[in-house]
Structure 1
Amino acid sequence: MLRERESVVNNFLAIVEVGIAWLSFNLALFLYFGHFSFIKYKDSIILHLIIALFWFLLGKYFRLAQVHRSRPYSAILFNCLGLVITGTSILGLAVLFFDLYYIGFDPLIYFGLFNLTFMFGFKVIIYAFFKRARMHGRNTRAIVIIGDYTAASFIEQVLKYKEWGYKIVSIIGDEVLSKTYGSIAPILPPDTELAPLLENKTIDEVIFIKEKMNVEEVENITHDCSEVGVIFRMYSPFFNKLKSKAHIHHYNTMPLLTIANIPTNYLAMKVKDVFDFIFSFLIIVLASPVFVILSLLVKFTSDGPVFFKQKRVGLRGRKFYAYKFRTMVTNAEELKAKLMEDNEMDGPVFKMKNDPRITKVGRFLRKTSLDELPQFFNVLMGDMSIVGPRPPVPQEVKEYERWQLRRLSMKPGITCTWQVSGRNDIPFEEWMKMDLAYIDNWSLKLDFVIFLKTIRTMLVADGH
Structure 2
Amino acid sequence: MGHVELPDSDRSGPVGLAGAPRPLTASNRPRGKELDDAWRAPAGQRERSGPAAARRRSGRRLQVVIGTELLGLGIPAWLVLWAGGQPRPGVAAAVAALAWSGVRAARGRYTGRSPGDPPGVLTTAGDWLLLIGVLAVLRTMTGDAVDPATAVVALLPGLPAGLAAWGVRRLRRHRTVRRVLVVGEASRVERTVRLLGSRADHPYRVVAAVPVGTAPLECEVQVPGRLAPAPADDDASTVLGGAFAHDADLALVVPGPQLSEERLRRLSWGLHDGGLPLSVLSELSGIAAGRIRPSAAAGLTLLHVAPPVRRGPQMILKALVDRIGAALGLLVLAPLLLLIGAAVRLGSDGPALHRQIRHGQHSRPFTMWKFRTMVVDAESHKQQLITANENDGPMFKMRRDPRVTGIGRLLRRTSLDELPQLLNVLRGDMSLVGPRPPLPEEVSRYDERELRRLAVKPGLTGLWQVSGRSDLSWQETVSLDLWYVDNWSVATDMGLMARTLRAVTDGRGAY
TM-score normalized by the length of structure 1: 0.74
How far apart, in 1, do the equivalents of 2:323 and 2:60 lie? 41
Q: 1:327 aligns with which of 373, 379, 395?
A: 373
Matched residue, 2:26: none
How far apart, in 2, do the equivalents of 1:298 and 1:24 lie? 57
More helix by share: 1
What is the CA deviation profile of residues 215-272 of structure 1, one whole-angstrom value per residue up to 9, with x for unaligned ones?
x912442365369667553223345479666899xxxxxxxx9978744574444443
**How many angstroms does 1:407 deviate by?**
0.9
What is the CA deviation profile of residues 152-209 of structure 1, one whole-angstrom value per residue up to 9, with x for unaligned ones?
3544648998x95889787242434557578442222232436762699588865321
Matched residue, 1:217: 260
* Structure of greater relative contact order (alpha carbons < 8 Å, 6+ residues apart): 2
How far apart, in 2, do the equivalents of 1:165 and 1:297 lie? 47
Q: How does 1:94-133 map to 2 (within 5 A)?
A: 100-102=148-150, 112=159, 114-115=160-161, 118-124=164-170, 126-127=172-173, 131=176
Matched residue, 1:42: 86
What is the SS of the residue equivalent to 1:101? Answer: helix
Q: How does 1:43-442 map to 2 (within 5 A)?
A: 49-50=95-96, 52-59=98-105, 61=107, 63-66=108-111, 79-90=119-130, 100-102=148-150, 112=159, 114-115=160-161, 118-124=164-170, 126-127=172-173, 131=176, 145-155=183-193, 157=196, 171-176=210-215, 183-193=222-232, 197=236, 206-210=251-255, 212=256, 217-222=260-265, 225=268, 232-240=278-286, 262-263=308-309, 266-442=312-488
- Matched to 1:65, the amino acid is Y
Distance 1:401 1:231, change over 3 A: same
Note if contact 2:358-2:365 (Cα within 8 Å) is conserved in structure 1.
yes
- Matched to 2:410, the amino acid is F
**How many angstroms does 1:459 deviate by?**
0.6
How far apart, in 1, do the equivalents of 2:408 and 2:499 lie? 23
- Matched to 2:148, the amino acid is L
Structure 1: which 5+ runs fail to align?
30-34, 135-139, 249-256
Of 201-210 and 308-317, the range deviating more from structure 2: 201-210
Distance 1:160 1:330, change over 3 A: closer
Matched residue, 1:12: 63
- Matched to 1:80, the amino acid is G
How far apart, in 1, do the equivalents of 2:428 and 2:266 lie? 51
- Matched to 2:329, the amino acid is I
Note if contact 2:190-2:217 (Cα within 8 Å) is conserved in structure 1.
no
Matched residue, 2:142: none
Note if contact 2:210-2:223 (Cα within 8 Å) is conserved in structure 1.
no
Note if contact 2:193-2:219 (Cα within 8 Å) is conserved in structure 1.
no
- Matched to 1:151, the amino acid is V
User: How many pairs were matched up?
Assistant: 431
Of 195-204 and 341-350, the range deviating more from structure 2: 195-204
What is the SS of the residue equivalent to 2:369? Answer: strand
Note if contact 2:356-2:369 (Cα within 8 Å) is conserved in structure 1.
yes
Distance 1:154 1:19, change over 3 A: farther
Distance 1:335 1:445, change over 3 A: same
Structure 2: which 5+ runs fail to align?
1-50, 140-145, 244-248, 295-302
How far apart, in 1, do the equivalents of 2:233 and 2:461 lie? 47
**How many angstroms does 1:436 deviate by?**
1.8
Matched residue, 1:254: none
How far apart, in 2, do the equivalents of 1:427 and 1:201 lie? 38
**How many angstroms does 1:397 deviate by?**
0.8
